[in-house]
């Protein structure tokens, strides 16, 4: 079966907790996690709702393979209307929280309303209760997790929580679980904070034994694990260097957004790369990287655990930061580093730890600092306004601004609104580098054309994880395409978007797709879940989910004009590298994409498309 077939509905306004059967008719059409929770959300929530109003809901959801023997089967997602974007939000996290929720017997939790006081939800199998969290309010993620585990007297309790960023209304606040895994993007933590919900603590002892055909499932998962182990990327490259190995690749290609996308190559990229993390420091003879790490059930283990140099100015008097902690991953290293012109690896790791500790997205934070540094460079923002000199390249400014944002102090409040709102306030909205108010990740769409279309059409605002065409355009997975041309990219983006929606609905990690295709996932789903899960039905499932999300955004007020890139990427050519002289071809790709999707020229799914997909 895969599913536990039970969900929790928690009304935070009146404190009621109800158990409901999972809607299996919907499960057969939307699978689980991203697809199924979004179906619930769209059926229950007005698309025009204020994300921070009690009427907005927040769903924590597992997939049918979460908690099972499937490799990477530890994923869970948070679905809501994003505080940063005002669009549908679905943020996906690894770690161990999702599997524990499944072990306790729950497919998902739907949070409604707003608690009159800070609370956290405690789940011990069937014993579920809201508890007072007044003593946790104002605490960091690290303090919250430690306090809850201590009070529950059970170190195997898994916790997801918000830090001070989520409490203070930082628009890109995360929900952090297992200390350094996060449902990171679009402000899902901000929504959680608006509901006075500090944390969810879960302990499950039931296991995940609801498999339709256990023998077939074990055979399918074993075969799929072999594919991951035998693949050079998932078997060797990712465990050894993590995602950070991309720093030099993307920089050499001239697709490394630098100094708020003014440049496409960063002169200090190597200093903050995966290779640099493996080198012994002259100060203490230790490597920055301590070890790799895996989430629940993962046989890839791409995670990074690092240790900051104790003599670095950022932590020299802060021994609490001297231990090993999560990071750096490529996206964070880019956003905190290249985007701001900061080439100090230790500073980036310190700020990354602050992001984990107080729960805010390092991509959006780093990119917002980049916009502030450009406003400072242009003389629009001053030292007096910011509280510190903030030129591009200043590690000290990056650190100070991160501490201010974490605490909600001074100019940190402005940074906490995100780059779109901040740049609009200072009269230069075009300097916000993002789509639908969400900041770009680490690929310049002048040098990787498909990513421009990916960003522009992503249902949750600019995001690389909705269709990672970098795999094809840069890495040759599954086939190599030319990153500098627009031809064929509409087809490529649609294919990646639809397939990714399936993986995001299954409980497995999208990083498996460096080795797996749907043909590797399908036998696992077919063995685990009742119903017909064929290659054809999965392909339709992905397309159905994508269109469902699109319908919500259209109803929320988004139109084709929101599927666009900032003018810089369309009018200021790349200055160096293979893309020198090129701008994004988004205006050429978008109409073709709409046509392939079966949408009108205005970006609206046609009645025929909706009928074909059962929407």
Cβ at position 205, least distance to other proteins in Å: 34
- At residue 81, φ and ψ (nearest 5 deg) are -90, 125
Site string for other proteins, 294-333 (x = CB under 8 A): ------------------------------------xx--
Cβ at position 238, least distance to other proteins in Å: 6
Distance, in Å, from the CA atom of 407 to the CA atom of 435, rounded to the nearest integer, reads 27
Among 148, 192, 238, 347, binds other proteins (CB under 8 A): 238
Residues 497-526 that bind other proteins (CB under 8 A): 510-511, 514
Residues 359-398 that bind other proteins (CB under 8 A): none
- At residue 502, φ and ψ (nearest 5 deg) are -70, -50
Residues 278-297 that bind other proteins (CB under 8 A): 279
Among 237, 239, 452, 566, binds other proteins (CB under 8 A): 237
Among 92-100, 200-208, 475-483, 518-526, the segment contacting other proteins (CB under 8 A): 475-483
Cβ at position 303, least distance to other proteins in Å: 12
CA angle 574, 580, 584 (to 5 degrees): 50
Cβ at position 484, least distance to other proteins in Å: 8
Distance, in Å, from the CA atom of 62 to the CA atom of 69, rounded to the nearest integer, reads 14
Nearer to other proteins, 356 or 512 (CB): 512
Cβ at position 414, least distance to other proteins in Å: 30
Nearer to other proteins, 381 or 470 (CB): 470
Cβ at position 466, least distance to other proteins in Å: 11
Nearer to other proteins, 510 or 613 (CB): 510
Distance, in Å, from the CA atom of 393 to the CA atom of 391, rounded to the nearest integer, reads 6
How many residues of this chain interact with other proteins, rule: CB under 8 A?
41
Please report whether residue 243 would count as binding other proteins according to CB under 8 A. yes
Q: Parallel, antiparallel, or unpaired: how do β-strands 108-112 and 438-439 relate?
A: unpaired
Among 270, 407, 588, 612, binds other proteins (CB under 8 A): 270
Among 109-117, 216-224, 269-277, 335-343, the segment contacting other proteins (CB under 8 A): 269-277
Please report whether residue 461 would count as binding other proteins according to CB under 8 A. no
Residues 560-579 that bind other proteins (CB under 8 A): 577-578
Please report whether residue 233 would count as binding other proteins according to CB under 8 A. yes
Cβ at position 152, least distance to other proteins in Å: 34
Paired strand residues for 435: 438
Question: Are 394 and 282 in contact, with CB atoms under 8 Å apart?
Answer: no
Question: Are 387 and 401 in contact, with CB atoms under 8 Å apart?
Answer: no
Nearer to other proteins, 114 or 580 (CB): 580
Among 315, 328, 465, 569, binds other proteins (CB under 8 A): 465
Distance, in Å, from the CA atom of 38 to the CA atom of 56, rounded to the nearest integer, reads 13
Q: Parallel, antiparallel, or unpaired: how do β-strands 434-435 and 438-439 relate?
A: antiparallel
70 contacts: CB under 8 Å, gap ≥ 6? 221, 224, 297, 507, 508, 524, 528
40 contacts: CB under 8 Å, gap ≥ 6? 23, 26, 59, 79, 108, 110
156 by DSSP, 3-state: which?
A: coil
Cβ at position 14, least distance to other proteins in Å: 41
Helix segments in 208-309, DSSP class H:
214-230, 232, 238-241, 246-252, 274-277
Torsion of CA 390, 395, 400, 401, to 10 degrees: 60
Distance, in Å, from the CA atom of 419 to the CA atom of 449, rounded to the nearest integer, reads 23
260 by DSSP, 3-state: which?
A: coil
Cβ at position 335, least distance to other proteins in Å: 14
Nearer to other proteins, 273 or 553 (CB): 273
Crossing angle of helices 449-457 and 586-597, rounded to 10°: 60
447 by DSSP, 3-state: which?
A: coil
Among 172-180, 231-239, 582-590, 602-610, the segment contacting other proteins (CB under 8 A): 231-239
Please report whether residue 337 would count as binding other proteins according to CB under 8 A. no
Please report whether residue 485 would count as binding other proteins according to CB under 8 A. no
Distance, in Å, from the CA atom of 101 to the CA atom of 202, rounded to the nearest integer, reads 6
Query: Cα separations (Å) of 529 from 52, 90, 226, 396?
Result: 36, 23, 22, 52
Please report whether residue 51 would count as binding other proteins according to CB under 8 A. no
Among 91-99, 154-162, 448-456, 467-475, the segment contacting other proteins (CB under 8 A): 467-475
**Residue 127 in tokens:** 């014993």
Residues found near other proteins in the complex (CB under 8 A): 231-234, 236-238, 240-246, 248-249, 252-254, 270, 274-275, 279, 330-331, 464-465, 468, 470-471, 474-477, 480, 482, 510-511, 514, 577-578
């Amino acid at each position: 079966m895969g599913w536990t077939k039970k969900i929790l509905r928690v009304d935070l306004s009146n404190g009621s907790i109800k158990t409901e059967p999972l809607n299996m008719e919907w499960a057969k059409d939307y699978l689980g996690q991203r697809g199924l929770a979004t179906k619930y959300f769209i059926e229950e929530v007005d698309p025009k709702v204020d994300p921070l109003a009690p009427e907005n809901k927040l769903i924590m959801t597992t997939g049918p393979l979460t908690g099972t023997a499937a490799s990477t089967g530890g994923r869970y997602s948070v679905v809501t209307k994003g505080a940063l974007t005002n669009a549908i939000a679905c943020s996906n996290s690894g770690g161990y929280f999702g599997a524990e929720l499944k072990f306790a017997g729950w497919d998902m939790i739907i949070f409604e309303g707003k608690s009159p006081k800070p609370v956290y939800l405690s789940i011990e199998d069937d014993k579920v209760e809201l508890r007072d969290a007044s003593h946790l309010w104002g605490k960091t993620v690290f303090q919250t997790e430690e306090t809850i585990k201590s009070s529950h007297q059970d170190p195997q309790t898994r916790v997801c929580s918000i830090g001070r960023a989520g409490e203070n209304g930082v628009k890109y606040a995360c929900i952090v679980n297992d200390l350094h895994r996060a449902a990171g993007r679009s402000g899902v933590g901000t929504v959680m904070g608006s509901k006075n919900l500090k944390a969810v603590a879960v302990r499950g002892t039931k296991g995940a034994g609801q498999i339709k055909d256990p023998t077939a499932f074990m055979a399918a998962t074993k075969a799929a694990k072999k594919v991951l182990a035998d693949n050079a990327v998932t078997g060797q490259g990712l465990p050894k260097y993590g995602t950070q190995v991309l720093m030099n690749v993307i920089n050499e290609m001239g697709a490394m957004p630098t100094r708020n996308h003014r440049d496409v190559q960063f002169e200090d990229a190597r200093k903050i790369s995966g290779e640099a993390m493996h080198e012994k420091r002259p100060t203490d003879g230790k490597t920055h990287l301590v070890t790799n790490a895996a989430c629940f059930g993962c046989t890839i283990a791409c995670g990074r655990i690092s240790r900051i140099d104790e003599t670095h100015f950022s932590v020299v008097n802060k021994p609490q930061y001297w231990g090993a902690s999560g990071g750096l991953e490529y996206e964070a290293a880019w956003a905190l580093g290249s985007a701001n012109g900061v080439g100090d690896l230790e500073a980036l790791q310190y700020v990354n730890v602050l992001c984990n500790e107080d729960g805010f997205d390092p991509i959006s934070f780093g990119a917002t600092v980049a916009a502030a540094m450009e406003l400072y460079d242009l003389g629009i923002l001053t030292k007096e306004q910011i509280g510190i000199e903030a030129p591009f390249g200043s590690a000290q400014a990056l650190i100070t601004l991160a501490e201010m944002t974490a605490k909600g102090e001074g100019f940190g409040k402005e940074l906490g609104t995100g780059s779109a709102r901040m740049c609009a306030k200072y009269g230069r909205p075009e300097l916000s580098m993002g789509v639908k108010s969400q900041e770009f990740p680490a690929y310049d769409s002048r040098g990787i054309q498909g990513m421009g279309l990916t960003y522009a059409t992503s249902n949750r605002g600019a995001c690389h994880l909705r269709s990672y065409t970098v795999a094809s355009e840069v890495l040759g997975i599954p086939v190599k395409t030319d990153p500098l041309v627009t031809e064929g990219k509409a087809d490529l983006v649609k294919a990646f978007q639809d397939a990714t929606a399936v993986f995001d609905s299954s409980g497995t990690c999208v990083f498996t797709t460096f080795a797996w295709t749907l043909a590797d996932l399908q036998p696992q789903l077919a063995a685990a879940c009742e119903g017909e899960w064929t290659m054809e039905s999965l392909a339709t499932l992905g397309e159905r989910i994508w269109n469902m999300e699109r319908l919500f955004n259209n109803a929320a007020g988004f139109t084709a004009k929101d599927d666009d890139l900032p003018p810089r990427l369309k009018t200021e050519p790349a200055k160096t590298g293979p893309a020198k002289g090129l701008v994004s071809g988004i205006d050429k790709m978008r109409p073709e994409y709409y046509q392939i999707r079966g949408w009108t020229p205005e970006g609206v799914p046609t009645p025929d498309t909706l009928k074909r997909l059962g929407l």
